[in-house]
Structure 1
Amino acid sequence: MPGYKVHVSGSVVAGALVLLGLVNIGLYVIDPEQVISLFVLCVLGALFPDIDTDSKGKRIFYSGMLLLALSLIYLERFKWAAYLGVLAMLPGISAHRGWTHTWWAMLLVPMPMLILPYYLYGQPFPTLLPYYVAFATGYFSHLLLDRKFI
């Protein structure tokens, strides 16, 4: 199975293809600051399926999650830090290549990025959708490279 470097590279390629496709058909206008966030989410999405095992990808993923949680705490966004903590624990309740390597997890895992901001802060779905798509694209690239769709 591919290692974390292949999954990171695959997610960057997949993210670039999706981004260029959306720009080309007029559904997305490039915002450089947002694009950086989208690519980070794409890479995190690609690393997520393997965080249920001891791997370099797991350490990178959780290092990023720790930085994000600490940033949220510093900004006094304790509710978001708590949600992040609960979501980060989910892979620990399954075996490797369990639910984290399924197509439905690819769609459900990033769902809190749409639902929580909508219900807690009234953020409209169109402003949240790029973040969901970025994470799901990275997740898809991981499953594709692991041959879960073949």
Structure 2
Amino acid sequence: MPGYKGHVVGALAVVGGGLGAAWWLGVYRPEPKVMLLLAAVAVLGSLFPDVDTNSKGRHIYYGAALIADIALILKEQYRYAALLGFCALLPAVGSHRGWTHTWWAGLIIPSAILIAPMVVAHSGWQPFMPYYVAAVAGYYSHLLLDGEF
């Protein structure tokens, strides 16, 4: 069972491989800054299953959530800020290696990336699909490295 560094490397390997394959096949060719954002989303997805423990991954995850929440509040995007806060609290409901280490949580938890724009901004989910896929890939890389599959 790797620590947070192993999960970060695993997420970067998965998202890098996926982006490389998509680029090579001509299916998806994002700009470099979008690729960096997708990598960051994958890394956060890979850290999420362990945020219910006192770990370095937890500090990184909640540090990023805090920065994002402050940015949303400063931009007066209170509904997104509230949704982020709600999602950040979810791991507290359960024990370590409980529901956060299941295959279905890896699909459901990142779905907030698709649902939030529809509910809050009444916009389509399609532009956010790459970020959802990156989050799921990062999450599943964590489960794979922890031997859950």
Band of TM-score, shorter chain: over 0.9
Q: Distance in 2 between matches of 1:3 and 1:84?
A: 25
The answer to whether residue 48 in structure 2 is matched with residue 48 in structure 1 is yes
Return the TM-score normalized by structure 2.
0.96
Measured after TM superposition, the shift of residue 33 of structure 1 is 1.8
User: Aligned ranges for residues 21-100 of structure 1 at < 5 Å?
Assistant: 21-100=21-100
Structure 1 57/14 Cα, relative in aligned 2: closer, same or farther at 3 Å? same
Aligned CA-pair RMSD: 1.0
Measured after TM superposition, the shift of residue 45 of structure 1 is 0.3
Amino acid at match of 1:23: W
Amino acid at match of 1:18: G
Amino acid at match of 1:26: G
Output one character per residue of 1:86-134: Cα deviation in whole Å (capped at 9) or x when no partner. Answer: 1100000100000000000000000011112023324333211001001
Gaps of 5+ in 1: none
Output one character per residue of 1:31-79: Cα deviation in whole Å (capped at 9) or x when no partner. Answer: 1121111111000000000001111100110000000000101111111
Output one character per residue of 1:14-42: Cα deviation in whole Å (capped at 9) or x when no partner. Answer: 11011111222222112112111111100
Aligned with 1:119: secondary structure? helix
% identical aligned pairs: 45
Q: Distance in 2 between matches of 1:119 and 1:24?
A: 34
Moved over 4 A (4+): none
Measured after TM superposition, the shift of residue 80 of structure 1 is 0.5
Q: Residue in 1 aligned with 2:10?
A: 10
The count of residues paired between Structure 1 and Structure 2 equals 149
Q: Distance in 2 between matches of 1:60 and 1:77?
A: 23
